A and B are shown apart, each in its own frame.
Chain A
Amino acid sequence: MTGQTTTHALDPITVEVIGAALSSIVEETGEALVRASYSTNIKERRDCSTALFDRQGRTLCQAEHIPIHLGSFLDFIPMLLADHDEKDLRPGDVFVGNDAYRGGGTHLPDIVLAEPIFVDDQLVAWTVNLAHHSDFVDRAHAHIYQEGLRIPPVRLYKAGELQKDIQELILLNCQVPRERLSDLRAQMAANRVGVQRFQELCARHGADVVLASGEALLDYAERKMRAGIAALPDGSWRFEDVFDNLDFDDPIPFAVTVTVAGDELSLAFEAPDQIRAPINMTRTALLATVYYIVKSVIDPTVLPNAGLARPISVDAPHGSILNCKHPAAVNGRVQTCQRVADLILGALAQAVPERVSACTNSTCSVAVFSGTRQSGPDAGTYWVYLETIGGGGGARPHADGLDGIHVHATNTSNLPVEALEGEYPLILERYELVDGSGGAGKHRGGMGLRRVYRATEDCMVHVDVSRNKSRSWGLQGGGEGGHGSYVTSPDCDPFERGYGTLRAGEWLEVITPGGGGYGTPQEDSETPIAAE
């Protein structure tokens, strides 16, 4: 059967319909995951992603959720296939994994579930999803062994049969096992939808047509990406910035050189050796970040599949912070990703200033609360609440930066107050924009956010803010954004490097950085910005 109708059926409309169907499948699986889940991080904050992969593990389609999650997806299937013979795969097998060095992951809380899809006994594709489990908290981060349970790709289900021993092993290592179990069930539900929908699509069009269309879509993304790169001027641009947060004292220098040659783009990074702190990035995290920002600047409409990566090459010293090796700690890698995305913007700003924004708040501010419930029906159980807080967007050539949003590699929702306070012993006292935090400019940088939490029971806290020493840069004469910081109530014991304790009644205020401005503030509004 296969192969016969392929050329006949592969008109552009068929390819477009199948491409859109793939994207609607990953959106629908994502929706199932969110709706069936239990933890606030997934059901409200939507810190999860879904994707379809071809048999070899190349991305066919990633849902428009969280760009950094592509990092966990990139190597998952290849690593799985390195450990497990394809011949042994059966319908209903489900693999679980999270490890940064053996499981394709970028940090341990991101747990991936992958299920092979079979049509007529043939492996045709994979449905894969990732959920950020709010667990493995209140730990040290000198190396990955301190950061949580490492899981290589192993079967959680074998031909539809739950491997209880594996599940028990995982749950015993989790701080909130009930939530983990429920979220894993939601991940299973999402994969079930993915398998079913993909099989329906194959039944409608023929598996060969679907797979050939998938191939055509990779080529299409590559063509669009090449056309976009070719439209940039040829040349080489270097940009440097520093990374600072509460984990260490001296800001760390990073640099990138972006080179455009015809329809190809290469990026060469400079970074110090990996350190005993959770800010190291695996190579997949770096790639996911690069693909995200290059697509954003070159052509946001390029399909998010593996084809777009073909004209892009990335080089970073192995063993450095930006391309770490075992056993570097990686839990807070998203902070570094954010800085890398802006670093690339800074280089491209020299080539095409009219196509980029000034530096965003360049971070993903995090607050983690955990403790043992002291009252209510669940008294005595452990609770963990993780949230990420947006900041200012960079000012654009035509407009101010967006206020209080998530930028770059992440894009999670906030947790509604009316959902937060029902789940955790916390009260949110303020949630507002920080006046004056956006960099000055003809167009102002976006404002950062302020969130004030009051504890109603004692809890452990970890705050991860960046730009606490440096500031986000402006473009074309625009000013710098405000710092990230935090404040605790006066009676509170002082926090150390963002770690501390809140007793009932004490409060914590987190302030996130603003974005850089664009254009000098006094510039005549009629004058075009782009250098002619």
Chain B
Amino acid sequence: MMDGSQGITPAGTWRVGVDSGGTFTDVCLFDEASGRIEVWKVSSTPDDPSRGIAQGVEEGMKEHADGAESDPAAAIAYLGHGTTVATNALITHRGAKVGLLTTEGFRDLLEIGRQKRPDLYDLFADKPQTLVPRELRFELPERMLRTGEIDTPLDEEAVRKAARALKEAGVEAVAICFLYAFVNPVHEQAARRIVEEEMPGVFLCASHEIAPEFREFERLSTATVNSYLGPIMHRYISRLTPRLQDLGLPVAPHLTQSNGGVVRFEAAAQTPVRAVLSGPSTGVVAAQAIGARAGFEDIITFDVGGTSSDVALMAGGETAQTNESVVHGYPIKAPMLDIHTVGAGGGSIASIDSGGLLKVGPESAGADPGPVCYGRGATDPTVTDANIVLQILNPVEILGGRMKVRRDLAVEAIAKLGERLGMETMDVAQGIISVVTANMAKAIRVISVQRGHDPRNYALMAFGGAGPLHAVRLAQELGMTTVIVPRSPGILCAMGLLLTDLRADFSATKLTALEPGNVGTIAETVASVEAEATGWFDAEEIADDKRRLTRRIDMRYDGQNYELSIPLPEGPVTEAMLATLKQGFTEAHERLYGFAVPEERILCVTFRAEAMGLVQKAELPERELGDPDPSAAVIGSREVWYPETGGFTETALYAREKLAPGMAFAGPAIVEQMDTTTLIPPGVRATVDKIDNLILELSA
């Protein structure tokens, strides 16, 4: 169907986003022809997530696309995918067995890092686990000087020996990082060639390929994390690709990166370190789009899944982005959104610690066996079980009736915990909610108060399967007064995949003075980075009018070590443009630091190209505000336990799909829908806006 040439539009009209989390796999389907947005949700299959993904796409298309019975994926024009496979492997230290080749004398650098201790005051704080054990780190005779001149030639025989030893040791991936490889990569390239010969098929990452920038430890760390995750991502993609092909997918699937953009599977498999925030970044992209449409610019996003919560802060409609960050203890040089994660979710397990206090998480029951109420043999109660016992969640069936639950088992498990604590069952269930809420509040404080932002000035946008369940409790804890629950919170990450552009970032480090005499060198370096971007555009088959390229140069005064990123105007690099750059840098320096030194030499350090391929995005349908009376959406009532009353209170149940723009009602109320449940406790007002968001107002 697809011949790979440019400009051929597939026959399909469906754009599909698939977000695979630890517990559920969400599918969001958008029909470009009709403007319909549909959602589908299936249980994840952690032993091989590709099964759940293929199943979700197949079922979702069959359910919603006309004529998809026989050939379910044929009508798909675009498939975007976000996954937590990389970040989970990094958190749980279940990455590949990695070997490291490095410059003689620097084997321990991976452990030493920047020699600072992990916490200034806590004597018991530990460093993150080193990803390559000492015996798998090999030193090679070779040395490059800072000029790129070779001081000691690479001992190729030693590389061969090391490769054989690594093969013998059974490593699945090899990281190569030599000093000054970003200036002159020939030694890394030679070592790579030899390792390829000795270990055909092994995952290989050389530091100059993944992070061609100075500061050896951070570059080494990035290359090591990439190698650690490489085989995991490779396996993942090589299982998923044939399954999607079997469904008859006529287009190349894409994977989200930590910067919120997407790239093709083949590219993603080589650079898993750029996907450590793949899962959560699309939720932030979606929240940004929804917030903009709903008229909220200052938002804290609150994405709760089965095992963790991801939070991000958006001020003035923009999420902060960074080119270097420490993720789960490991420095990573890669473009990413500023997202903070905490191990608190619906599957978080409640337990009693050695001091006799109730703790919730970070251990999670995951998808299998899942919470106790799933009746799959689990006995440790989770946050979900507490919500079932309190009857905030439907105590009979969830997922729109597709999954039966056993409240009796959840009650039994929580009662057992209560016996050990000497507390009533219902108080323990509410206690689990309070503890997990406090944990979530801590995460919000990290991205707000700790950076000087008052959360009370922000609206909380709740999504993920369990976000709307906990949002009001969390807002109460933090003194926030507005909660936004989008129309399909359970699949917001999947929806974000339909709202994001194709994106890739390219960079090269070349120290060059910003002087007229260097106009040739600067133009050359800019051109080389641009050429990489063009290659990517071509590989992604992006039409000329959909290509967007932003060029920047990171510059500093000669003598400083931190750069300011200055945008390059369009057009060829000329002496006049250098003057513009100098002015841009001087102004930026003056603005940031309050001074500029006209007589100082300015150095260009890193040349960057941000390539964006514009895609057609899903339009959020808008409806007229109607009658405020919500009675048409009421589907019944049930008793729900509230701490406000210390007992069960009859609570109206609303069906989310029956709520219409303009409807208004007050808590206590529960809104049920296939992908989530929203708790509206007593005293909270709810209204439905034009794009079907639920807006909850709390009294300050």
| A residues adjacent to B (C-beta < 8 A) | 13, 16-17, 20-21, 23-25, 28, 32, 34-38, 40, 43-44, 64-65, 67, 178-179, 182, 185-186, 188-189, 192-193, 197, 201, 292, 295-297, 300, 356-357, 389-390, 393-394, 396, 398-399, 402-407, 411-414, 416-419, 421-422, 427-433, 449, 452
Contact = CB atoms under 8 A, between A and B. Distances in A.
Nearest to B218: A416
Contacts of A65: 120
Contact of A390 (B115, B215, B449, B557): B115
B108 A414 contact: no
Given A17-B454, A67-B120, A416-B216, A430 B593 contact: no
B592 A449 contact: no
Given A20-B452, A452-B105, A300 B116 contact: no
Contacts of B105: 428-432, 452
A432 B106 contact: yes
Contacts of B118: 402
* Ranked 4 nearest A-B pairs via Cβ: A430-B105, A189-B593, A300-B121, A20-B449
Interface string B114-136: 11111111111011000000000
Given A37-B560, A405-B116, A405-B117, A433 B108 contact: yes
Nearest to A428: B105
B593 A418 contact: no
Contacts of A300: 119, 121-123
Nearest to A404: B112
A17 B478 CA distance: 11
A357 B126 CA distance: 13
A36 B594 CA distance: 10
B93 interface: no
Contact of B179 (A193, A201, A417): A417
Contact of A414 (B115, B145, B595): B115
Interface string B578-604: 000000000000001111010000000
Counting chain A CB atoms within 10 Å of each CB, which of B123, B215, B479 scores highest? B123
A13 B594 CA distance: 33
Contacts of A406: 115-117
Nearest to A292: B121
Prevailing SS type, chain B contact patch:
loop
Nearest to A345: B123
A414 B112 contact: yes
Contacts of B107: 432
Q: Give the size range of B's interface with the partner.
A: 35 or more
Contact of B214 (A356, A402, A416): A416
Nearest to A14: B454
Given A20-B449, A418-B180, A427-B151, 12 more contacts: A36-B593, A38-B560, A43-B561, A182-B559, A296-B122, A296-B123, A357-B124, A412-B116, A414-B114, A431-B108, A432-B106, A432-B107
A189 B145 CA distance: 34
Contacts of A422: 146
Contacts of B115: 389-390, 404-406, 412-414, 449
A412 B115 CA distance: 8
Given A20-B450, A23-B450, A417-B216, A36 B127 contact: no
A357 B452 contact: no
Contacts of A21: 449, 452
Counting chain B CB atoms within 10 Å of each CB, which of A292, A295, A403 scores highest? A403
Given A43-B560, A43-B561, A192 B123 contact: no
Contacts, number: 151
Given A38-B559, A432-B105, A449-B112, A185 B117 contact: no
A452 B452 CA distance: 43
B595 A411 contact: no
A16 B449 contact: yes
B64 interface: no
B155 to A, nearest CB: 16
17 contacts: A17-B454, A25-B452, A35-B560, A38-B560, A43-B561, A189-B595, A193-B594, A197-B452, A295-B121, A296-B121, A296-B122, A300-B119, A406-B117, A419-B215, A430-B104, A432-B105, A433-B112
Nearest to A420: B146
B540 to A, nearest CB: 33
A185 B597 CA distance: 10
Interface string B176-204: 00011000000000000000000000000
A411 B120 CA distance: 7
B109 A431 contact: yes
Contact of A413 (B104, B106, B116, B562): B116
B51 to A, nearest CB: 40
A432 B107 CA distance: 7
Contacts of B122: 296, 300
A188 B595 contact: yes
B123 A356 contact: yes
Contact of B117 (A179, A189, A402): A402
B439 to A, nearest CB: 16
A249 B114 CA distance: 33
A394 B117 CA distance: 12
A16 B452 CA distance: 11
A430 B108 CA distance: 10
Contacts of A356: 123
A347 to B, nearest CB: 15
A426 B557 CA distance: 23
Nearest to A432: B108
B217 interface: yes
Nearest to B123: A357
B234 interface: no
Contacts of B216: 416-418
Counting chain B CB atoms within 10 Å of each CB, which of A17, A21, A419 scores highest? A17
Interface in B559-574: 559-562
A389 B112 CA distance: 11
Contacts of B108: 404, 431-433
Counting chain B CB atoms within 10 Å of each CB, which of A24, A185, A186, A404 scores highest? A404
Contacts of B214: 416, 418-419
Contact of B594 (A17, A67, A189, A432): A189
